[in-house]
Structure 1
Amino acid sequence: MLSVSGLLAQAGNFRLGPLDLAVPAGQVLAVLGPSGAGKSVLLETIAGFRAPRSGSVLLDGQDITGLPPERRRIGVVFQHAALFPHLSVRDNVGFAPSLRGNRRGRQVDDLLDVFGIAHLAKRSPRSLSGGERQRVALARALAARPATLLLDEPLSALDQPVREELREVLRDTLRELAVPAVHVTHDRDEALGIATDIAIIAAGTLRQTGATGHVARHPTDAIAARLLGWTELGPVDRDADGCRVGELRMNLAPNNATKTLYYRPEDVRIDADDQQAPALRARTRVREVVPTLPLARVLLDTTPLITAMVLHRDLDRLPPAGTEVTVTLPADSICAIPSSA
């Protein structure tokens, strides 16, 4: 178990915390937040590169707050690989085992195979692509047999295809480890695809934490909702006929009348079969189709405007722009957040 309790850290005028987090062995915590949220400050403090102003860091029940980084048994992988330029790929991965006197290299060979870099074993880091360097960095960190693993946006500098490929490798590798891992990212898909739990941080404050699936479906404030892919629809007004958002009539519980609604664009249904008691059913027109990838964006001429995200193969089924359609939103694709949050 890795845990931080009452952790307060300072970086210039920026303040992180105080916050409490716990990561059991074998679990992956994704720390999700925008740039400047304090994610890297948190990792630096856990790793021992930055001393906290107060609070504690515990690993397996041992207080390691005052220990130097090299005595914490923590593996760290940064956004940029930071490999030893004078060592080959194999010697980079085998650096920590060699310090322990393990020069037989079976573990190193296994890691080279897992990360698909065995054919690069004799190469210099200078000759590698960005994705290859990150694979080496991940393998090197695991070869040290850390008691916990910290990953500071290790995939963010890679292009999209390489990032998606390496994300799958990283997810499978972390699942096989029996150590707690903390993965810092500002990429929602990366967090949802890798982590068992999510902690959302903004402006140095822990906004929400919990199991990945629960947090993704039930954000508690506007910041968490936007980071998790929810789109603001607008504040709910109540009149004699019920609830509405702008000109849209909503099928909502009365206690949602003081809240702001958010929806998931990928769950918007256009001319679909009727469903039982949707949160929204309205007649409108297709304003524009934007062929973004991997999902196309369909702008609907509602007030407020609703955007649907659809598969490209379904675009041929849509009527042309200006045609009237029926748009529906399932109740579980709407979240109501207090307007003050």
Structure 2
Amino acid sequence: MLTVADLLTSAGSFRLGPVDLVVPAGRVLVVLGPSGAGKSMLLDTIAGFRTPRRGTVRLDGQDITRLPADQRRIGVVFQDAALFPHLSVRDNVGFAPALRGRRRSPDVDELLARFGITQLARRAPRSLSGGERQRVALARALAACPAALLLDEPLSALDQPVREELREVLRATLLDLALPAIHVTHDRDEALRLADDLAILDAGTLRQTGPADQLTHQPTDAVTARLLGWTELGPATRDADGLHVGDLPLDPAHLGTAAMPGTVYYRPEEVLIGGPDRHASASLRVRTKVVEVVPTVPLARVLLATTPPLAALVLHRDLPGLAGEVDVTVPGHALRIIEQTTPSPPA
């Protein structure tokens, strides 16, 4: 188990933390946040490349906070792969075993095969594509037999098809490993594909943590909601006519959250366009017109003439049936009212 407790670090005027994280063996924690959130700083501190102002890092119960990086038994994969340019692919992967006197370790051959780079064994890093370099970097990190693995956006610089292919290789590899892993990214799809647990980081502050499915469906923080695909609709207000957002009436009975003052968020892929009885537990029902269809793939984005405006994601085959007025419903589980809060600055 990898445990981070009350970790606080800084660089210039930027402060990260305090951060508390627990990553059990065999689980993948994905830290999701925008650029500049402090994700790489967090990994650098855990890995031992940066000294924290306070807090502890424990691995398998041992306090490793003050240990140098090369004594922490933590494997790290960087965004730029950081391969040794003067070594072949095989020698890069076998670097850690060679330091232990195992130059012909069978583990190296197994890792080359696992990541599909056996045929590249004699190649130099400069001759490899970006995806190939990252496969080598992953294999090299695992060849050191780490007790924990840190991944600093290793897929972000790759073209989309290569990124998606390597994401699946990485997911399968992490499933096979009985060690704690932390992967940081700003890509929501990547986070949801890899994560057992999620931690949302923004401007150095840990906003929300928990199982990935729980955070995806029940965000309690505006930053978390936006990063996980929820769209802001507007402020919820209550008057003599009931609860509403702009001109849209809300049924609090099916909201699934307290109808407190706050901002309404919804999931566009859950907006249903069709008959009024499409969803019995709808919290929002309205009859309106389609303003615009944006032909995105795989789902088209349909903009509706409501106040405030709603958007829906629909199958392209359903677009011909959207002429004239349409009935729109949003189920309660796809609406959240989130109270606006300002996080306290770190002490």
TM-score normalised by the chain length of structure 1: 0.96
Q: Does 1:319 align with 2:322?
A: yes
**Alpha-carbon distance between aligned partners in 2 of 1:217 and 1:141, rounded to the nearest angstrom:** 34
1:72 is displaced (CA, Å) by 0.5
Distance 2:332 2:249 in 1: 13
Taking only aligned residues, the RMSD between alpha carbons, in angstroms, comes to 1.4
Residue 271 in structure 1 maps to residue 252 in structure 2: no
Following the alignment from structure 2 to structure 1, what is the Cα–Cα distance between the partners of residues 318 and 26? Answer: 40
The answer (yes or no) to whether the contact 2:232–2:266 under 8 Å persists in 1 is yes
Q: Distance in 2 between matches of 1:311 and 1:11?
A: 47
Equivalent in 281, 298, 301 of residue 297 of structure 1: 301
Letter of the structure 2 residue corresponding to residue 304 of structure 1? P
1:90 maps onto 2:90 in alignment? yes
Q: Is the 8 A contact 2:260 2:337 kept in 1?
A: no
Q: Could you tell me which residue of structure 1 aligns to residue 345 of structure 2? A: none
CA distance, structure 1, for counterparts of residue 204 and residue 156 of structure 2: 21
Count matched residues: 338
Match of 1:57 in 2: 57
Letter in 2 for 1:335: R
**CA–CA separation in structure 2 for the residues paired with 1:89 and 1:277:** 57
Equivalent in the alignment of 2:337: 336
Structure-to-structure mapping, 1:15-30, within 5 angstroms: 15-30=15-30
Cα deviation per residue 1:186-215 (whole Å; 9 max; x = unaligned)? 111111110100011111111100001001
Contact 2:25 2:178 in 1 (8 A): yes
The structure-2 alpha-carbon separation of the partners of 1:315 and 1:116, relative to structure 1 and needing over 3 Å to count, comes to farther
Q: Is the 8 A contact 1:26 1:178 kept in 2?
A: yes
Instruction: Say whether the 8 Å CA contact 1:298–1:307 is kept in structure 2.
Output: yes
> Where do 5+ consecutive residues of structure 1 fail to align?
none
Q: Deviations over 1:124-146 (max 9, x none)?
A: 11111111111111111111110
1:27-176 equivalent positions in 2, closer than 5 A = 27-176=27-176
Partner of 1:229: 229
Q: Normalising by structure 2, what TM-score?
A: 0.94
Structure 2 gap ranges (5+): 343-347
Is 2:265 the partner of 1:262?
yes
Residue 173 of structure 2: SS of its match in structure 1?
A: helix
Return 95-104 or 199-208, whichever deviates more.
95-104
Distance 2:157 2:146 in 1: 24
Corresponding residue for residue 197 of structure 1: 197
Distance (Å, rounded) in 2 between the aligned partners of 1:155 and 1:313: 33
Provide the C-alpha distance between the structure 2 equivalents of 1:62 and 1:257, rounded to a whole number of angstroms.
44
